[in-house]
Amino acid sequence: MIEIPRSAPGSVACGRSGLPLLAICPNGHRRAVPFRRLRTSETDRTPLYGRPFKCRACGGVEVTLFAIGSQAELDEIQGAIAGPPQAARAPTTHPPPDPDKGLL
């Protein structure tokens, strides 16, 4: 990953085969930002950090952006963001059992 400088124009995100950017907030929350949401072009000179980035977990607006170099690196990052695999749970319409049902 390569940290994107604060003064970088929007065009720095172009020409990267559509790979997302990685946004990391000061609290360590990570999120992939899809390329299409950046709305940039090859001629875009507006500041990349001028766009409204916001951490979904804590609401912080101070994020650091990183360029993801390859699909393999993206797969590794997405695996780390998702965390360890969870056991599958089927949806149900039944209410959870009441542990105090038999008590007086």
**Structural domain includes residue 71:** yes
Residue 94 has pLDDT above 80, yes or no: yes
Give the closest residue to 81 by CA, choosing from 23, 34, 36: 23
**Structural domain includes residue 100:** no
Give the closest residue to 48 by CA, choosing from 16, 82, 81, 86: 16
DSSP characters over 32-65: EE-HHHH---TT--SBGGGS----TTT-----EE
**Which pTM value belongs to this model?**
0.65
**Structural domain includes residue 15:** yes
**Structural domain includes residue 95:** no
**Structural domain includes residue 17:** yes
**Structural domain includes residue 47:** yes
| Structural domain total, the chain | 1
Distance spanning both ends of the chain, measured CA to CA: 60
pLDDT digits (tens, 9 = 90+) for 33-86: 877 777 777 777 778 777 777 788 888 888 888 888 888 888 888 888 877 777
Arithmetic mean of pLDDT, 21-28:
86
Confidence of residue 14 (pLDDT cuts 50, 70, 90): low
- Locate 32 and state its tokens: 């992939």
**Structural domain includes residue 92:** no
Instruction: Provide the pLDDT for residue 80.
Output: 84
Q: Print the domain residue range for 51.
A: 2-82
Confidence of residue 13 (pLDDT cuts 50, 70, 90): low
**Structural domain includes residue 43:** yes
Residue 95 has pLDDT above 80, yes or no: yes
Q: What order do you get walking across the sheet with 64-67 strand by strand?
A: 2-3, 64-67, 21-24, 30-33
Instruction: Provide the pLDDT for residue 15.
Output: 56
